[in-house]
């Protein structure tokens, strides 16, 4: 297939684009700089320089492709509208990357027993309402002749297959730890996130390209862990002392409101059956703790 990928120099988009090339597909990737364009060319991806605000460019690329994967941002409504408008009535696959902070509870590091399923999503918090509205727009486009899917990733671990090596959550913990010499989690770190390895994420997107049922929402997960379990093994991997609790306000000062409250200080416990049942997805990796211990550093 001829696939247009946004965010092709990013952690998720770069991994997908590289995975597509390895699987024999032809890939055009949106990037923002000449340097990234050169890096993509070296990986066998045809670069297009532009941004998510370039609606005409996005529409042109979507019309020229057999399928579109939006992996640059879960939150850019204008880009999603431009891509959907170009794809309406085409029957082409459109895979949009969302994230499971949409069910995050901003608990400040406290645990939760609540587990969310694909068919019974909660009303979003005010902070996440805009992201959920974008997801709903994409799902609704299935009625207008778009083979659409929302691929809602959890905490992704592992190293990228593409040009940008690191994901967004665990690398923040590592950076803080390397800087201060102390591994820290938000509050007492009892909060739990579902998670998945980047290689399993890539295999899911590849399956969805040919097997998606229009209008499907997928949670992407193959395990879960509390932050204190992750910070404990990060401390061992870095040869540092016991991880320490951190007040939310200090965490916000280091990581910002969104990352401290949702990315690192919330619970996001989800279960995904659509990928397994509709796509036949079988994740190979199930332990973030093993990955941190054996491969992270």
Instruction: Please give the residue ranges that form the binding site for ligand NAP (CB under 6 A).
Output: 7, 9-13, 30, 32, 51-52, 71-76, 97, 99, 153, 155-156, 164, 167-169
Q: How far is the CB of 66 from ligand NAP (least distance, A)?
A: 21
Nearer to ligand NAP, 74 or 91 (CB): 74
State the minimum distance, in angstroms, from the CB of residue 143 to ligand NAP. Answer: 25
Nearer to ligand NAP, 30 or 202 (CB): 30
Q: How far apart are alpha carbons 272 and 46 in whole angstroms?
A: 33
Smaller CB separation from ligand NAP, 9 or 183 = 9
Q: How near is the Cβ of 118 to ligand NAP at its closest, in Å?
A: 15
Residue closest to 137 by CA, chosen among 204, 212, 201, 78: 78
Least separation in angstroms between CB 212 and ligand NAP: 18
- Cβ distance to ligand NAP smaller for residue 92 or 96: 96
Which residue number has the CB closest to ligand NAP? 10
CA 258, 260, 261, 265 torsion-angle sign: positive
Using a 10 angstrom Cβ sphere, with 0-12 exposed, 13-18 middle and 19 or more buried, the burial of residue 242 is exposed
Nearer of residues 90 and 169 to ligand NAP, judged by Cβ: 169
Residue 16, number of CB atoms within 10 A of its CB: 32
Are 59 and 85 in contact by the 8 Å Cβ rule? The answer is: yes
**Beta carbon of residue 126, minimum distance to ligand NAP (angstroms, whole number):** 18
Structure-token pair, residue 249: 């306000």
């Amino acid at each position: 297939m001829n696939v247009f990928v946004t965010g092709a120099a990013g952690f998720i988009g770069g991994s997908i684009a590289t995975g597509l090339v390895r699987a024999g597909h032809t890939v055009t990737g949106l990037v923002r700089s000449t340097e990234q364009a050169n890096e993509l060319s070296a990986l066998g991806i045809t670069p297009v320089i532009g941004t998510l605000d370039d609606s005409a460019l996005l529409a042109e690329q979507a019309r020229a492709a057999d399928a579109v994967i939006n992996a640059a941002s879960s939150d850019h409504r204008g880009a999603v509208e431009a891509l959907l408008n170009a794809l309406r009535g085409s029957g082409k696959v459109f895979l949009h990357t969302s994230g499971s902070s949409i069910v995050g509870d901003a608990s400040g590091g406290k645990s939760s027993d609540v587990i969310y399923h694909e068919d019974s999503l909660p009303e979003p918090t005010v902070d996440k309402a805009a992201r959920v509205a974008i997801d709903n727009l994409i799902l609704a486009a299935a009625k207008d002749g778009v083979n659409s899917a929302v691929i809602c990733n959890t905490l992704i671990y592992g190293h990228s297959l593409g040009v940008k090596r690191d994901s967004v959550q665990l690398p923040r913990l590592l950076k803080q730890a390397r800087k201060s010499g102390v591994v820290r989690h938000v509050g007492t770190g009892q909060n739990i996130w579902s998670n998945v390895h980047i290689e399993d994420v890539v295999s899911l997107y590849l399956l969805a390209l040919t097997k998606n049922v229009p209008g499907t929402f997928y949670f992407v997960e193959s395990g879960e862990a509390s932050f204190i379990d992750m910070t404990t093994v990060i401390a061992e991997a870095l040869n540092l002392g016991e991880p320490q609790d951190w007040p939310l306000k200090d965490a916000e000062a280091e990581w910002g409101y969104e990352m401290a409250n949702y990315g690192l200080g919330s619970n996001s416990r989800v279960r995904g059956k659509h990928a397994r049942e509709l796509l036949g997805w079988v994740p190979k990796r199930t332990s973030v703790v093993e990955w941190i211990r054996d491969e992270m550093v």
